[in-house]
Amino acid sequence: MLFKDVIGHKDTKLQLIKGVKNNRISHAQLFLGIEGSGNFQLALAYAQYINCENIDASDSCGKCSSCIKYKNKQHPDLHFFYPTAVGNEVKDKPSSRKLIKPWVEFINQKEYFTLNDWMNHIGAGEKLSKLNILDSQDIIKTMSLKNFEAKFKVIIIWWPENMNIECSNKILKVLEEPNPNSIFLLVGHNTDQLLTTIISRVQIVKTKRLSDHEIIQGLIKKEGIPENLAKSLSITANGNFSKALELVNTPESDEQFIDVFQKWMRICYAADFLKIEKWINEIDKLGRIAQKNFLEYGLRIFRECMVYNYVTPEMNRLNQKEEIFNENFAKFIHGGNILEIIDIFEHTHTAIWRNANGKIAFMNLSLTICNLLKSKP
């Protein structure tokens, strides 16, 4: 992938290029950003750049032998490790090595993607995905081999947060003392879910949320959709290009969320526990991925309430239906409860991500929201 094909991140690209020109290439880097920010794509473009045979001032050449192999994800010195689970492709003891063929097929088909997209591709659905001890053993073995042809052997670890404890502990030493001319590029999204010992061994490259303008231009360029539709989708995407692409194909998803969210807030304010229990039974049917997306949607609405109350309504990033709801709902969200609301939502999101019981998690969340909605500023 070329830098020019990565949406946004102009300053980060310049920073990475400058580091290569000045021969300051860290042996272990963590490309950190929200899912859909383009951190994987940026890491891949960087890997291609440092091994390009004819780099110029701003990008890889895209034509040399190394660039062509990188484009097809077939370079012998480029290695990927990523979360896996039992599914249609592997029935027992999954690992990155066992799933390399569907992985290469997947990332060649989709420039921007999510972990959920990958799980669906291998038929694993909502099963818990992990990088496991088999992956760490393969990483160590890969590190022991000499480079085939490239100046740098590159190991890209996608979603390092999903490394189990055995895998994390195994790769600590190679992160600290890598072989010469070998580079680790970790592509992560949440440092809270990474071992501090891993964080201390990497240089962090932060990737910001994409701006509305960057998402609009990306959608027009890559999807060929009208500008007015791209503008509408960019508001809901909130800096996440993968979310924007999802909305191109399923634009009704957030429309469904606003109805579910409105109903939930009303019964929580009324403290109608019978209706809350019924609502929880319905949300439990959505599945883990949809529940996570719903919680992220709810967090966005709460934050928009704070913008409405403390900044200016003109700064809100809401569609028409959300605006109508927000006009009445925002008065219940204020400085006295917003931090606790965000905290309990993020706690529930993490619990669902870790495969906790959805009914228990949403019941605890609902009871907390019942109290917080009636708290005073």
Q: Domain holding 106: CATH number?
A: 3.40.50.300
Q: Report which residue type is found at 154.
A: V
3-state secondary structure of 299: helix
Residue 81: pLDDT over 70:
yes
- How many other C-beta atoms lie within 10 A of the C-beta of residue 229? 16
Count how many domains the chain has: 2
Residue 39: pLDDT over 70:
yes
Indicate whether 132 and 27 sit together in one domain: yes
Residue pair 323/244 in contact by the 8 Å Cβ criterion: no
CA distance 20 to 57: 10
Is 242 among the domain residues?
A: no
Is 177 among the domain residues?
A: yes
CA distance 96 to 196: 24
Q: Among the three residues 151, 185, 206, which one is the final residue of a domain in this structure?
A: 206
User: Could you tell me which residue, 252 or 163, shows the higher pLDDT?
Assistant: 163
Mean pLDDT of the chain: 92
Indicate whether 189 and 331 sit together in one domain: no
Cα separations (Å) of 163 from 79, 131, 197, 281?
A: 17, 4, 13, 31
Indicate whether 83 and 181 sit together in one domain: yes
Indicate whether 178 and 309 sit together in one domain: no
Confidence of residue 254 (pLDDT cuts 50, 70, 90): low
Residue 344: pLDDT over 90:
yes
Q: Can you tell me the mean pLDDT for 277-300? A: 90
Residue 252: pLDDT over 60:
no
Pairing of strands 28-32, 153-158: unpaired
Q: Among the three residues 206, 234, 261, which one is the final residue of a domain in this structure?
A: 206
Helices marked H in the chain: 10-21, 39-51, 65-71, 100-109, 115-121, 133-144, 165-176, 196-199, 212-223, 227-237, 241-249, 253-270, 273-284, 288-310, 320-329, 338-353, 358-373
Residue 318: pLDDT over 60:
yes
Of 20-29, 258-267, 315-324, the poorest mean pLDDT is in 315-324
Indicate whether 41 and 167 sit together in one domain: yes
CA distance 135 to 269: 48
CA distance 236 to 62: 34
Q: At what angle do helices 358-373 and 253-270 cross, to 10 degrees?
A: 60
Residue 372: pLDDT over 80:
yes
Measured at the CA of 351, the angle between CA 316 and CA 114, to 5 degrees, comes to 65
> Which pLDDT value is given to residue 253?
59
Indicate whether 29 and 155 sit together in one domain: yes
Is 328 among the domain residues?
A: yes
CA distance 163 to 184: 15
Is 247 among the domain residues?
A: no
CA distance 317 to 307: 9
Instruction: Name the residue among 165, 169, 84, 176 with its Cα closest to residue 121.
Output: 84
Confidence of residue 251 (pLDDT cuts 50, 70, 90): low
> Which pLDDT value is given to residue 134?
97
Indicate whether 271 and 188 sit together in one domain: no
Residue pair 348/361 in contact by the 8 Å Cβ criterion: yes
Is 236 among the domain residues?
A: no
Q: pLDDT above 90 covers what percent of the chain? A: 75
Q: Among the three residues 148, 182, 206, which one is the final residue of a domain in this structure?
A: 206
Parent domain of 308: 252-373
Is 212 among the domain residues?
A: no
Indicate whether 284 and 189 sit together in one domain: no
Give pLDDT tens digits for 130-156.
999 999 999 999 998 999 999 999 999
Indicate whether 79 and 195 sit together in one domain: yes
Is 195 among the domain residues?
A: yes
Pairing of strands 28-32, 203-206: parallel
Residue with token string 């439990």: 284
Q: Given its phi and psi angles, is residue 239 left (phi above 0), alpha (psi -120 to 50 degrees) or beta?
A: left
Is 227 among the domain residues?
A: no
Indicate whether 101 and 155 sit together in one domain: yes
Strands of the sheet containing 182-188, edge to edge, are: 78-81, 153-158, 182-188, 28-32, 203-206
User: Could you tell me which residue, 249 or 360, shows the higher pLDDT?
Assistant: 360
Q: From the centroid of its chain, how far is CA 362? A: 23
Indicate whether 187 and 121 sit together in one domain: yes
Sign of CA dihedral 214, 219, 222, 226: negative
Indicate whether 185 and 298 sit together in one domain: no
Specify the pTM: 0.81
Q: Can you tell me the mean pLDDT for 253-261? A: 80
